[in-house]
A and B are shown apart, each in its own frame.
Chain A
Amino acid sequence: MDTGQEGRMRLPEESCTLVAVGAGPAGLCAAREAAACGVRTTVLDENDKGGGQLIKQIHRFFGSREHGAGKRGFEIALELAEDCANAGAEIRLNHRVLGFFEDGRLLVEGDFIYVLEAKAVVLATGALERSFPFPGWTLPGVMGAGAAQTLVNVHGVLPGKRAVLVGSGNVGLIVAYQLLQAGMEVVGILEVEDRVGGYEVHESRVRREGVPIYLRHRLLAVEGLEGVEAVLAKDLEKGTVKRFHADTLCLAVGMIPQAELASMRGCRMVFVRELGGFIPWHDGDMRTDRPGVYVAGDAAGVEEASIAMDEGRLAGVAALEDLGALSPNEARKRKEELKRRLNLLRGGAAGRPRAMAKERLAAGWRHR
Chain B
Amino acid sequence: MAEKEMRVEKHPVLGVMGRGRRVTIFLDGEPITACEGEPVAAALYAAGRRVTRYTRKGHEARGPFCMIGRCTECSMVLEGWGMVRTCMTPVREGMRIWTPGRKGG
Binding site for B on A (CB under 8 A): 46-48, 53, 58, 72, 128-129, 131, 138-144, 146-148, 150-153, 155-161, 181-183, 225-227, 258
Contacts and interface: CB of A to CB of B under 8 A. Distances in A.
A144 B65 contact: yes
Contact of B65 (A47, A48, A142, A258): A142
B50 interface: yes
Which 4 residue pairs of A and B lie closest in terms of their CB atoms, listed nearest first?
A140-B63, A156-B17, A147-B67, A155-B42
A129 B66 contact: yes
B64 A227 contact: no
Nearest to B10: A183
Interface in B1-22: 1, 5-8, 11-14, 17, 19
A140 B51 CA distance: 6
Given A46-B88, A157-B6, A226-B51, A139 B61 contact: yes
B61 A227 contact: yes
B38 A182 contact: no
Contacts of A53: 68
Contacts of A151: 42, 45, 67
B46 interface: yes
A227 B50 contact: yes
B6 A158 contact: yes
Interface residues on B, range: 35 or more
B27 to A, nearest CB: 14
B66 A156 contact: no
Interface string B69-88: 11101000000000000001
B69 A158 contact: no
Given A151-B45, A227-B51, 9 more contacts: A138-B60, A142-B63, A144-B66, A146-B66, A146-B68, A148-B67, A157-B7, A159-B45, A227-B61
A156 B19 contact: yes
Contact of A157 (B42, B68, B69, B90): B42
Most buried by B among A53, A58, A150: A150
Contacts, number: 98
Nearest to A181: B12
Contacts of B61: 139-140, 225-227
A353 B65 CA distance: 29
Where chain B touches its partner, the secondary structure class is loop
B68 A153 contact: no
B20 to A, nearest CB: 11
A128 B7 contact: no
B32 to A, nearest CB: 13
A139 B68 CA distance: 18
Given A155-B38, A155-B42, A158-B8, A139 B14 contact: no
A139 B67 CA distance: 15
22 contacts: A46-B69, A48-B90, A58-B13, A72-B13, A128-B68, A128-B71, A139-B61, A140-B63, A141-B63, A143-B67, A147-B66, A148-B67, A150-B67, A155-B39, A156-B11, A156-B19, A158-B5, A159-B45, A159-B50, A181-B12, A227-B51, A227-B61
A78 B87 CA distance: 22
Contacts of A131: 65
A229 B46 CA distance: 18
A229 to B, nearest CB: 12
Contacts of B7: 156-158
Nearest to B38: A155
A160 B19 CA distance: 20
A181 B38 CA distance: 21
A42 B42 CA distance: 30
Contacts of B88: 46-47
B67 A157 contact: no
Nearest to A183: B8
A97 B22 CA distance: 32
Interface string B38-61: 110011011000111000000011
A182 B19 CA distance: 16
A227 B73 CA distance: 14
